[in-house]
Chain A
Amino acid sequence: MSVEVSRRKFLQGSVALSVAGASAISATNLFSSEHASNKHQPTDSRIPSTITTKTGTGEAVEVATLCEMCVNKCAALARVENGVITKLNPNPMFPKSKNMLCPRGNAGIQAAYDPDRLKYPMIRTGEKGKGQFKRVTWDEAYDAILNGTDKFPGLAKILEEEKDNRSSMLFCAGEGMAEHTFKQFYQAFGSSNWLNHASLCLQTVVSGYGVTLGGYPQSDLDNAEYIIMAGANRAEAIVTPDTMDCFKRTKGRGAKLVCVDPRFTNTAAKADKWLAIKPGTDLAFVLALTYVVFTEELYNKKYVANYFNGLEDYKNSVITNKYTPEWAEKITGIKAKDIYTIAREFMMHAPKAIYYPGRRSTFATNDFQLRRAQAIFQALGGGIDTKGGLIFGKKLKLGKHEGLEPLYARAEARAVSKKDHPKKGESGYDDCAIVSGGGSWIAWRNRYLEDRMPYKVRGMFCYKHNPMMNMPNTKKTAQMLKKMDLVVTIDTMPSDTVMYADVVLPECTYLERTDPVKTFGGVEPSIAVRNKVIDPLFETKPVRDILRGLTEKISKPLFEITKKYDEDVQDELEDSDEAEVYAEFDLTLPFEGTQEEVNHHMVASVYGEEAAHKLHKDGVFYPDMDKFYKKIGANEHQYYPEKEKAYSVRGGKPKTPSGKVECNIANLASKGVDPMPVWKDEYNFKVEEGKFRLLTGRHAQFTQSGTSNNSMLHDLIMTNFIWINQRVADKKGIKFGDMIEVSSKTGSTRLKAYPTEKIGPDTLFFIHGFGEESSELTWAYKNGGNDNAVIEDVVEPVYGAAAMHETNVEIRKV
């Protein structure tokens, strides 16, 4: 029985949840709005008293914004009544999201009015990781970052001791429109250590397609006639516009959908065929498809002749290695007969056939090669840069915004570790073959813990990022955070990571801030903006304002340290005026002016004043929008007339430097990576007797740990359950709802059982993002199982991505 609890009650209720211990803070409830009601009267009335608020019929303001409940950035129109957001509606004008908001988008209101939100700047008073903080003013927080407290050192001390090695601070960020703003801080600060979500996310797929086709393409699912969706679950892991385009045409209505997934997902339920593949063996499946295409000469001969490099090498490799469907059947569990049929059907429909690239975390260590094989298979049908295939699309230009990238002589290069004596053809790095811009999170973390760093990294800035929840082996992440001298987190929620912070800077939610304007490429390109819907609640601020305040505090004092150690600066100072030199090192520069002003400039400078105004008002802009945009029906809008759509922008030519599809890349071989996709025995799916392969994944109602405390979404899925094959469960005496302990070498977690035939006998699955340990989260605290407490930190060899499906686990009913 779940009763509507008034939000006020929640706020009072969170008094009880208040940080324990330390008498110094007993009078201050840092996480509740206690003080808002005393000190900031107006703030309080801006919070609705109930979780949902029925929309009214009176006066209301409508603000165009972009959603941030996941990475898609769908357009929304926020309805504001008496200063309270009462509804988020889809903005029909955005070609990417086409008048839709998913359940999370609709539940965005609950992110803004989450009673557990971070409300004030805080600094640590207790033991690290215990979540004991005291509330401070913004200035005190900035001061603590610069000068430290008795509990932790500040930037001044760290940089002094590290002799102005700016790379002694790590910067990490989650995905988001303001990630760019934070990255400007990183660049101005002068560190080389940047870690973002990529290596925990889509690094290998983006790179695999990047090196093969010259770019990570989009899929024209609106026109494709045949879709292979392997290891992607668009019915649950919603991506716009793919999800909307795809499922309107499946089930015998224009597009045939083949779903390849170890689990029977909602996508499988919408498919014409579901193939239950063994986890991690997709590469064998694609190689066998390719084998059929080569041996039966089904490929698009004209396209291949024009746009392929190294085709013969690859063909030889595939054929001489005998990647036959019969061979693949043994590895993948997919019947050879099906592989023949799918290869033939795909090529029959090509180029209006798509092997869907997907955009997900790396699951297996062969993921980079899998993506290469997929891209080549797709290209064999000619479905590149063409209607109904993979497309590059068009991107609208935006004006420039000046950043600041000073050169610090003492700043060391990125903390990677090179091999002492690499053999010929071996990668030069310890962790992986190639170090990308986003770095390899788990490799970096592990090396940091093992003291295998070329220099000391002393602290970190962490923006909108939750390493405690988002990467395999939670224990190690906790150790890393504890080992850091100074951890500064900028976040909206008291996440597990925030609990390890020394200084907590509360950001406002996406509904309370304007973010950098963004251009969205594709078949129907447009520019969209996230406008501030309401003023920030409590004492929170947008990251831009936070960084402005912080840099105003630290810029000059840190420059003094640079002056002391940086010989280049010292030289410069001899010749020029200090103010002139400082201008190059003035960290406040990137944050001058409001975001609104910057956005206006970036649009107005290219499309004129009127366009900038229109964008602000409508949230969306593209040239000729007035002429093109039309409502056609209840469920259909025209954004561009058919002939204006950017299906093909290069006449089918890949975007690689050579303008060809790269089958055989010698450069990879020099780094110890296979130049062509091949299967290796070590890729085989292996599960010891009595164990299970653990799979993780997504759900339409949650976005990782970022939404785990959303009351509305929690109402849809109270907790995560572990999928176990029904017959296996019966044999083990496991019933629905039984508590199960899942354990691996890394650790263990507990959650309830969900026996189902939707998963095979040797695999287990549960949704990622649950089981947080932060007691400040009313709904998420210890709710369900945390996959990363169990998943082993297996490093994918090419980019150092975290391979998430390489862990075998044991289970036990408790």
Chain B
Amino acid sequence: MKIGPINIPLKEDFSLKSILGFEKTPMNMLVAVLTLAFLAMFVVGVATYLMHGHHAYNVTREHPWGLLIAVYIFFVVSSTGFCIVGSLGDVFGFKDYMMISKRAIFGSIVTILAGFAVIAFEIGHPVTMLIYNVLSPGLTSAIWWMGTLYGIYLTFMIVEFYFLLNNNMQKARIFGLIGLLVGLAAHSNLGGVFGFLNARTISNGVFYPTYFILTAFITGIYLSFIIMGFRYKMNFDEKTKALLVGLAKIQTLLIAILMFFETWKMLTAVYGGMPNRAEVAEHIMHSGAFMYGEVLMGMLIPFTVMLLTKWRSVTTYVWTSVIGMVGIFFMRYDLVHDTQLKPLQMMKTHEYQLPPSWVEYFPSATEIMISLGGLGLCVLLYYVGTRAFNLDEEH
């Protein structure tokens, strides 16, 4: 397809028919039905939000950030992860990883779009944001930097993808490198959004900005396994297997580093019983979302499986990656929730209330619907992409 000087090489058979012409296996049908269901939920969720505003969410004065922020972070971390994995080949020139570059870069675009779609219904006034982001930029605000940089990042990713499609590796490399740097900057700023919260001792500091980069890489690899499994229907050729074995080894190392980080974060948080930090850390460690979600699913299961199978059982890793992604989701959810666990005002403001203790939060149906809708949107866009573009390496 040509638009002026821009040439977008679409697949020759790209049409509605080709989109609908997937093989009707039970698995594919399940994914299709789920995706449609999620998209329907998105519509219902957004409609509810438009009617009732934030009252449709379970966010409160003490817990202003809820599931949608977590899901947004989940998507943008995924995007950054895709970007890092995609860069291995086309930016850094690792030949083995070249075959996944185009697919990963496309994934990074799709995931960040899904993220934006979700956050648009969390930010109360997204249009105002676009205007005043430019007219009165808050340069001391991590959210301003994060948002602005992600905007730029998305542009670079699209341009990079364009050059990749046109097999212009030179230009793709330049835009890829800048995109990666902007993406990493944006992403660490997202960590900074939490790291700058001086009043929230559990989140305050250097941990989240660096942890975000690390977990982005981990997320990127989990997602790579999933999309490659999807692409090759679990029948990998030798070249792909080599790629995945490599990724699995890197992943093991990264998870080891993450576990090391997390251990020290918790140890330093608990040590000495510092108010507002130690008891929060202890509370976190007693929560199922942390122990089963983050630690078990996000780290231990994938790590142990890869270690025990000595990085050879790549089809298994597709499944452990799905588990890993559930763990990653909990990491995002916990990050948001745990930051707000401890009320900043600990006195009773009414006679007939219990003294403030841990802030409770559970997402509302609307929040869940919009979040799943984001996932549906992501899958749909990605699938349409696989039909429209050749995401495999060109020979």
Contact = CB atoms under 8 A, between A and B. Distances in A.
Touch between chains A and B, by CB atoms below 8 Å: yes
Interface of A: 1, 3, 699, 716-721, 736, 752, 754
Contact of B350 (A1, A717, A720, A736): A717
Contacts of A3: 55
14 contacts: A1-B55, A3-B55, A699-B351, A716-B350, A717-B350, A717-B351, A717-B352, A718-B352, A719-B352, A720-B352, A721-B352, A736-B354, A752-B352, A754-B352
A721 B55 CA distance: 28
A718 B349 CA distance: 13
Given A716-B350, A721-B352, A754-B352, 11 more contacts: A1-B55, A3-B55, A699-B351, A717-B350, A717-B351, A717-B352, A718-B352, A719-B352, A720-B352, A736-B354, A752-B352
B38 to A, nearest CB: 27
Contacts of A736: 354
Nearest to A266: B351
Contacts of A1: 55
* Interface residues of A, dominant DSSP: loop
Contacts of B350: 716-717
Nearest to A736: B354
Contacts of B55: 1, 3
Nearest to A752: B352
Interface string B345-360: 0000011101000000
A752 B353 CA distance: 11
Contacts of A754: 352
Nearest to B353: A736
A227 B169 CA distance: 89
The 3 closest A-B pairs by CB, nearest first: A721-B352, A736-B354, A754-B352
Contacts of B354: 736
Interface string B34-60: 000000000000000000000100000
Nearest to B60: A1
A721 B354 CA distance: 12
A3 B54 CA distance: 12
Interface residues of B, number: 5
B353 to A, nearest CB: 8
Nearest to B354: A736
Interface of B: 55, 350-352, 354
Contacts of A719: 352
Contacts of B351: 699, 717
Contacts of B352: 717-721, 752, 754
A716 B353 CA distance: 11
Contacts of A721: 352
A716 B350 CA distance: 7
A726 to B, nearest CB: 12
Contacts of A752: 352
A754 B352 CA distance: 7
Nearest to B58: A1
Which of B55, B350, B351 has the most A CB atoms < 10 Å from its CB? B351
Nearest to A721: B352
Nearest to A3: B55
B357 to A, nearest CB: 12
A236 B350 CA distance: 14
Contacts of A718: 352
A736 B357 CA distance: 14
Nearest to A735: B354
A752 B354 CA distance: 13
A107 to B, nearest CB: 15
A736 B354 CA distance: 7
B56 to A, nearest CB: 11
A83 B350 CA distance: 34
Nearest to A720: B352
B272 to A, nearest CB: 31
Nearest to B352: A721
Nearest to A700: B351
A752 B352 CA distance: 10
A269 to B, nearest CB: 12
A262 B352 CA distance: 19
Nearest to B54: A1
B349 to A, nearest CB: 10
B338 to A, nearest CB: 24
B351 to A, nearest CB: 7
Contacts of A699: 351
Nearest to A1: B55
A3 B55 CA distance: 9
Nearest to A236: B351
A721 B351 CA distance: 10
Nearest to B52: A3
Nearest to A758: B351
Contacts of A717: 350-352
Most A CB contacts (10 A, CB to CB) among B55, B352, B354 go to: B352
A339 B200 CA distance: 49
A327 B354 CA distance: 39
A154 to B, nearest CB: 47
B62 to A, nearest CB: 13
A391 to B, nearest CB: 33
A561 B229 CA distance: 104
A756 to B, nearest CB: 10
A1 B351 CA distance: 18
B63 to A, nearest CB: 13
Contacts of A716: 350
Nearest to B349: A716
B51 to A, nearest CB: 13
A699 B352 CA distance: 12
A765 to B, nearest CB: 12
A419 B350 CA distance: 51
Nearest to B351: A717
A223 to B, nearest CB: 32
A1 B354 CA distance: 17
A754 B348 CA distance: 14
A598 to B, nearest CB: 43
B360 to A, nearest CB: 14
A302 to B, nearest CB: 47
A649 B351 CA distance: 42
Contacts of A720: 352
A454 to B, nearest CB: 48
A153 B55 CA distance: 54
A718 B350 CA distance: 10
A717 B352 CA distance: 7
B57 to A, nearest CB: 10
A54 B368 CA distance: 37
A715 to B, nearest CB: 10
A717 B350 CA distance: 7
A717 B351 CA distance: 8
B276 to A, nearest CB: 24
A1 B61 CA distance: 11
A3 B352 CA distance: 20
A10 B113 CA distance: 43
A465 B368 CA distance: 53
A6 to B, nearest CB: 15
Nearest to A715: B350
Nearest to A737: B354
A721 B353 CA distance: 10
A102 to B, nearest CB: 16
A766 to B, nearest CB: 10
A724 to B, nearest CB: 13
A736 B350 CA distance: 14
A407 B9 CA distance: 111
A14 B213 CA distance: 57
A307 B360 CA distance: 66
A413 B351 CA distance: 49
B55 to A, nearest CB: 6
Nearest to A754: B352
A719 B351 CA distance: 11
A719 B350 CA distance: 11
A473 B325 CA distance: 65
A752 B350 CA distance: 15
B294 to A, nearest CB: 30
